[in-house]
Structure 1
Amino acid sequence: MAGRRDALRDDVRFRVLRLLQDNPEMSQRQLAEAVGVSVGAMHYVLSALVEKGLIKLGNFSASRDKRRYAYLLTPKGVAEKATLTRNFLKRKRKEFEALKAEIEAVQAEMELGADMAPCRKR
């Protein structure tokens, strides 16, 4: 169970860092919607990323609302994103291969079942 939970946490961190690298001005609400978590959960994730030194807060200077922040990846954050990207791809390829094998097995069962079905006379 912990392994799955760790993978989900890493997926969220990966997606957040990926989004912020291209869109540092995204709000917590926009990030939460894009990643599929609550705004409260996103606040927690962003706080943890700041605490770990993976992102830093900067005022979003183009905004009229000076309370808006930009979430900027630090060099440590860029390195962490690279590691998370490798792990994400490895995990997703493994899931893809397992899914592909399951599809092939079910398809073979269906084809065998169609061959074994008795012929009905009308």
Structure 2
Amino acid sequence: MTRSQLQEDMQFRILRLLQENPEMSQRDLAKAVGVSVGRMNYVLNALVDKGLVKLGNFTAAKDKRRYAYVLTPKGISRKSALTRAFLARKVAEYEALKQEIEALGLEINTLHRE
């Protein structure tokens, strides 16, 4: 997988998580995606700068410094494109893995006959 694909996958996962739960903290997002909090902060700032996510106050929070990360219409559109690309990659990986499993099964069957 290329660096660009890894970045797209990370963006996809973050946008997906935020769409489901805009109040997720950077720490929770970082843990869910498997990156450091610093890296998550950097990526979230980039998503805000690109206009994919907007930052708003999370009104139900006791700590008024908490924010909600809300997908913009542009962010929803980007998430859809990333979802299609992610799904296509995963289907291709699945097909390749399926072929490899079938080939290994044939190999084992051949070995057992000898």
Asked if these proteins are the same fold (TM beyond 0.5), I'd say yes
> What stretches of structure 2 of length at least 5 have no aligned partner?
none
2:38 pairs with one of 40, 50, 57: 40
How well do the aligned residues superpose, as a CA RMSD in angstroms?
0.8
Inter-partner Cα distance in structure 2 for 1:104 and 1:37: 35
Counterpart of 1:77? 75
Q: TM-score if structure 1 supplies the norm length?
A: 0.91
Which of residues 18, 24, 32 in structure 2 aligns to 1:20? 18
Q: How many residues get paired?
A: 114
The CA deviation at 1:78 is 0.3
How far residue 106 of structure 1 moved from its aligned partner, in angstroms, is: 0.8
* Distance (whole Å) between structure 2 residues aligned to residue 32 and residue 40 of structure 1: 9
Match of 2:62 in 1: 64
AA paired with 2:18? L
Superimposed CA distance per residue, residues 88-110 of structure 1 (whole angstroms, 9 cap, x where no aligned partner): 00000000000000111111111
Residue equivalent to 1:97: 95
- Identical pairs, percent: 63
Bigger Cα Rg: 1
Q: AA paired with 2:12?
A: F
How does the TM-score come out when normalised to structure 2? 0.97
- Structure 1 residue 4: deviation in Å? 1.3
The runs of 5 or more residues in structure 1 that have no matched partner are 117-122
The answer for the alignment partner of 1:119 in structure 2 is none
- Please list every run of at least 4 consecutive aligned residues from structure 1 whose deviation after the TM superposition is greater than 2 angstroms: none
| Partners of 2:105 and 2:3 in 1: CA distance | 31
